Amino acid sequence: MDYKENYDKVVTDLLRPIYITRSFKRWFAFLVIGLIISIFAYSLQIKLGLGVTGLRDITTWGMYIGNFVFFVATSLVGMLITAVLGLLGIKWAAPLTRIAEIIALAFAAVAGLVIIIDMGRPDRLLNVFIYGRFQSPILWDLTVVITYTVISALLLYLPLIPDLKICSERLEKAHPLQRKLYKLLSLDWSNDPQQVQIIQRGIRILSILIIPIALAIHTVTSWLFAVTMRPGWDSTIFGPYFVTGAFVSGTAAVILAMYFFRRNYHLKAYISELHFDKMAKLLILVSLVYLYFNINEFLVPGYKLKKFDAVHLNALFSGHYAWMFWGVQIFGLIIPIILLLFRFFRKPAASFFIALFVICGAWLKRYLIVVPTMEHPFLPAQHLPLNFTVYSPTLIEITITMGTLFLTLIIITVLSKFLPIIPIWEMVHNSEHGENE
């Protein structure tokens, strides 16, 4: 589409979704009710202690930590789409940057909360900030999660400034307060060449900055596990293994969001089949890399079967977790890769369903990284009471975990409702720029 010639149409099209519909209200109410229920569940956990979860002395980390890793992982896609594809000058990815950044910001921000949920004494959280020991990987994690959240927010905000100006001018039917807010946030943007230069330089600097930070955030998250000596975590490839896994779940999340916005916001002309085709191909690429790391991670210790590794791997390959392990590998990784090789499955609806499988697999994969290793302690004492060794999450725990998802969806919903989900100014400006060249 030629954005310059159709400027008015583009603006009208992209601003059209910014009004509150009935289905939006219903969806939002559903999320808020869900969140309230899980806040209630969390209040029970505060009152009664972490004993309301399925965690006990042997499996001390469970669903919460797995969920935390998943959240951090999914947030990494912002860096992949905006920074990597952006800096490489890949044009088709430009309309997807805002979706990716919103996902990145929401997941990274909530990841911080997820880890607080797991704390036995959240009232002492400030100790970590004021008296933190930098020798502990938890501190590294905290630092990079916060940094990444801030940079993601900036990377969402900078390209948004001109769009906010457009919003404040063109959204005549919006609430005056809402328009005022747009104007305020647009920082008196006037499309001045100097402003354009500043903003472009800013975006470029942030795009470069976010790459090492995004790599760090997930590498450090993997080190949280890899620095211990537990079989299953004691691995040197955990950093890249986690990072590539993160791209898989993030890419899948973007495909899900694309499908949703394309349908509900009537953006078929902007998020076209081409975008699904390209994103699906990207998903193949990152899944293949992830598969490669999976083979490394399991084949090599599986070949040696050292004493304690053997206990762990037996549980995964043929024991208690075999169904989940093989399910994740086959339905969450191998079959999606094979299916996406065919053009038919790279169409919007098909890739939506495949992405759904991939993202569920990605979540379960994090669960598999955390729980089975915890269940096989360094001293594998057999025949302990069942609730000591075999972990199964309780209803309260699941409700609280769901709550974190609801909160993320609320953030994504609000941001994508009140902001143009496709960057207007950037698209128009880039196509102008392209002509000048």
Partner 1 sequence: MKNENSRRSFLKNIALASFATLALSGCDMKALEEFLQQNFRTLSKKEKNKIIKNLAIDYKKKYGKEFNVSDKPALEGTLFGYALDLARCVGCRRCVYACVKENNQSREPQVHWIDVLQMEKEKGIDFAHSTSQYNPEKVPSEGHFYLPVACQQCSNPQCTTVCPVKATWQEPDGIVVVDYNWCIGCRYCMAACPYGARHFNWGEPTIPVEEINTEMHYLGNRPRMKGVVEKCTFCIQRVREGKYPSCVEICPVGARKFGNLLDPESEIRYILENKRVLVLKQELNTQPKFYYFFGI
Our finding on whether 138 is near partner 1 (CB under 8 A) is: yes
Determine if 121 is a binding residue for partner 1 (CB under 8 A).
yes
Q: Could you tell me the smallest distance in angstroms from the CB atom of residue 32 to partner 1?
A: 24
- Residue 321 DSSP symbol: T
CA gap 316, 120 in Å, rounded: 29
In whole angstroms, the minimum distance from the beta carbon of 304 to partner 1 comes to: 15
Candidates 73-81, 122-130, 337-345, 411-419; binding stretch for partner 1 (CB under 8 A)? 122-130
> Rounded to 5 degrees, what angle do the CA atoms 25, 26, 30 make?
115
Out of 178, 195, 200, 228, point to the residue binding partner 1 (CB under 8 A). 228
* Closest distance to partner 1 from the beta carbon of 394 (Å): 12
Six-digit token pair at 371? 């729980």
Packed helices 97-117 and 395-418: angle between N→C axes, nearest 10 degrees = 150
128 binds partner 1 (CB under 8 A): yes
Distances (CA, A) of 325 to 247, 333, 362, 364: 19, 11, 11, 8
119 makes contact with partner 1 (CB under 8 A): yes
Contacting partner 1 within 385-424 (CB under 8 A) = 385
Asked if 61 touches partner 1 (CB under 8 A), the answer is yes
Closest contact distance (angstroms) between CB of 127 and partner 1 is: 5
If binding is defined by CB under 8 A, does position 136 make contact with partner 1?
yes
What residues numbered 304-323 form the site for partner 1, per CB under 8 A? Answer: 307, 311
Report the first-to-last Cα separation within the chain, whole angstroms. Answer: 18
Give yes or no for residue 49 binding partner 1 (CB under 8 A).
Answer: yes
By CB under 8 A, name the one of 29, 44, 48, 330 that touches partner 1.
Answer: 48
For partner 1, the closer of residues 31 and 63 by Cβ is: 63
**Cα gap 70→366, rounded to integer Å:** 6
* Residue of 8, 23, 89, 133 that binds partner 1 (CB under 8 A): 133
CB of 152 to partner 1, least distance (A): 22
Neighbours of 193 (CB within 10 A): 7
Q: Which of residues 343-382 bind partner 1 (CB under 8 A)?
A: 374, 377-382
348-352 LR contacts (CB < 8 Å, sep 24+): 348/258, 348/259, 348/262, 348/273, 348/276, 349/259, 351/255, 351/259, 351/276, 351/279, 351/280, 351/283, 352/255, 352/256, 352/259
Q: State the DSSP code for 423.
A: -
State how far the Cα of 265 lies from the Cα of 95, in Å rounded to an integer: 14
Closer of 135 and 436 to partner 1 (Cβ): 135
CA distance 87 to 78: 13
Least Å distance between CB 393 and partner 1?
14
Amino acid found at 363: W
124 binds partner 1 (CB under 8 A): yes
Contact pattern from residue 185 through residue 224 relative to partner 1, giving x for each residue in contact according to CB under 8 A and a dash for the rest? ---------------------------------------x
State which H helix or E strand residue 432 sits in. Answer: helix 424-436
Interface with partner 1, residue 55, by CB under 8 A: yes
> Length of the chain, please?
437
Under the rule (CB under 8 A), what is the footprint of partner 1? 48-51, 55-58, 60-61, 118-133, 135-139, 142, 224, 227-230, 307, 311, 374, 377-385
